[in-house]
Amino acid sequence: MDTIITRFPPSPTGYLHIGGARTALFNWLWARKNAGQFVLRIEDTDEARSTKESVDAILESMEWLGIDWDDGPYFQTQRHDIYNEHIDRLVEQGHAYYCDCTPEEVNAMREEAKAKGLKPMYNGKCRNRGLKKGENTVVRLKTPDTGVTIVDDIVKGSTAFQNAEIDDFIIQRSSGMAMYNLAVVVDDITMGINTIIRGDDHLVNTPKQILIYQALGVPLPVFGHVPMVLGADKARLSKRHGAMSVGEYKKMGFLADALINYLVRLGWSHGDQEFFERQELIEKFDLEHLGRSAGMFDMDKLYALNAKHIQKKKPVELGDDLVPHLADLGIDAQNDAFTQGVIETLQPRSKTLVEMAQGAAFYYRDEIEFEEKAAKKFLKPETQDLLNKCADAFDGLGDFSQGAQEEVFKQIMEETGLGFGKIAQPLRVAVTGTTVSPGIFEMFIALGKEKTVQRIRKAAQFCAAQG
């Protein structure tokens, strides 16, 4: 086959939502896997609802996800001439005609059809009137009255649509602007798109588009209609189901790789494999294993996958992702050796970067605030001696390794007769302010000897002041 050319055509009437991101992903993956091309096209022919902000937001989200395009972005509003050329040709060749019916008239026709138990349709009134272009004329495609139009779909199989069900739909508005179905087909033809993967809400549009391809005398592309993403109540995913836009997931601390992994697996499978690296996805993605049924968006699974990706990623790489979240907490951190050490201690216990940033905060504070409950339980006046003893011992350590720290613990446990936990918990509170943190040794190492000792001493003073 020729070079695979796929596309993603968002309409800029909002942010990039996760359903759209998934279709973009499928197309991108397929192009990348086949060393093909991925085209980005902005479908902004609905001038009333399209905004520049939406375009920017969509591009930004795609960049964050790492979905890059080889061609575009094209804007449909800049392609009037191309559409009009094709429309004129269709009219000249008798495949399309001008119509001056008013919206009221058309509405009446639809009501009439409905009353007869049919699908609401335009009745073809102007088909043979030989009208010329006028003030309020639209162009309609002359569709066949009989026969069927077959949609051969790589995921849904073959579906036959009765041509009698398809009315002479508008391809050019009275304003002269092309309508969606025409613009899409002309774009796909002129951009050389040969593989179209999109949501199955477009399946019923496909026969109309095929009719345009045929009228234009152009071979059909490969169609693949993937099921939609549903919310937890099995209704089409919408705002009330929670976060919709890709940008929100970024804010919530998800890794782009994790979101991609999740989205692709929702509606595609590779045996029992759940976890995929980006490169792996490109290698393994295929069209055969796209699912046919709609799937519900499941936050829990996304969290689990995100946790996995956080665990497997290198601290250096995670650093760049984490720094902005630390900044959100007012922490001015760099992706340096210190931060990477911090990250290492938090990787197995963070589901999101937000969680990681929160868990990391104590490392960066100059002043530790003790949680009331924790202090009451573990920083009692009588704990002062223990803390000072620990601080002294640690301070005397030339080598602040885990092994050396363990030795210190051993000695103090012997001296005091206390169990490990009795020593570790007060120290934990002393250093972090809370009872929950990474493992005590790894944490001290990440923090560094100096700060660790300093914090323990401060806590000892705090204990003394409690009496």
Footprint of RNA on 150-169 (CB under 7 A): 156-157, 159-162, 165, 169
Measured from the CB of residue 273, what is the shortest distance to RNA in angstroms?
8
Please give the residues from 85 up to 124 whose contact with RNA meets the rule CB under 7 A: 101-103, 106, 110, 114, 117-122
- Decide if residue 441 touches RNA (CB under 7 A): yes
Nearer Cβ to RNA (396/419): 419
Q: Which of 239, 314, 376, 377 is catalytic?
A: 239
- Decide if residue 354 touches RNA (CB under 7 A): no
**Residue 221 gets which letter from DSSP?**
-
Nearer Cβ to RNA (126/463): 126
Please give the residues from 215 up to 234 whose contact with RNA meets the rule CB under 7 A: 227-228, 230, 234
Measured from the CB of residue 35, what is the shortest distance to RNA in angstroms?
25
- Decide if residue 344 touches RNA (CB under 7 A): no
- Decide if residue 294 touches RNA (CB under 7 A): yes
Residue with tokens 């998934």: 22
SS (H, E, C) 342-372: HHHHHHHHCCCHHHHHHHHHHHHCCCCCCCH
**Nearest C-alpha neighbor of 335 from the set 348, 352, 318:** 318
* Out of 304, 331, 412, 418, the residue judged to bind RNA by CB under 7 A: 304
SS3 state at 289? coil
- Decide if residue 309 touches RNA (CB under 7 A): no
Give 195: exposed, middle or buried? Use CB within 10 Å, 0-12, 13-18, 19+: buried
Measured from the CB of residue 432, what is the shortest distance to RNA in angstroms?
8
- Decide if residue 287 touches RNA (CB under 7 A): no
* Out of 72, 192, 291, 448, the residue judged to bind RNA by CB under 7 A: 291
* Out of 436, 450, 461, 465, the residue judged to bind RNA by CB under 7 A: 436
* Bridge-based pairing state of the strands 138-141 and 170-172: antiparallel
* Out of 36, 267, 426, 433, the residue judged to bind RNA by CB under 7 A: 267
Q: Total residues contacting RNA (rule CB under 7 A)?
A: 85
CB-CB contact of 71 with 8 (8 Å): no
Q: How far apart are CA 154 and CA 158, in angstroms?
A: 8
Stretch that binds RNA, among 66-74, 185-193, 260-268, 329-337 (CB under 7 A): 260-268
Nearer Cβ to RNA (45/384): 45
For residue 218, give every residue at least 6 positions away whose Cβ sits within 8 Å of its Cβ, in sequence order, or none.
189
Nearer Cβ to RNA (122/285): 122
- Decide if residue 77 touches RNA (CB under 7 A): no
142 flagged as catalytic? no
Nearer Cβ to RNA (36/57): 57
Tokens of 252: 């919530």
Q: How many other CB atoms are found less than 10 A from the CB of residue 298?
A: 12
Nearer Cβ to RNA (31/427): 427
Runs of H (alpha helix) within 116-197: 180-190
- Decide if residue 391 touches RNA (CB under 7 A): no
Can you say whether the dihedral through the CA atoms of 286, 246, 322, 425 is positive or negative?
negative
**Nearest C-alpha neighbor of 287 from the set 195, 185, 192:** 195
**What distances in angstroms separate CA 144 from CA 141, 249, 261, one per listed residue?**
10, 46, 44
Q: How far apart are CA 408 and CA 387, in angstroms?
A: 12
The residues carrying an active-site annotation are 239
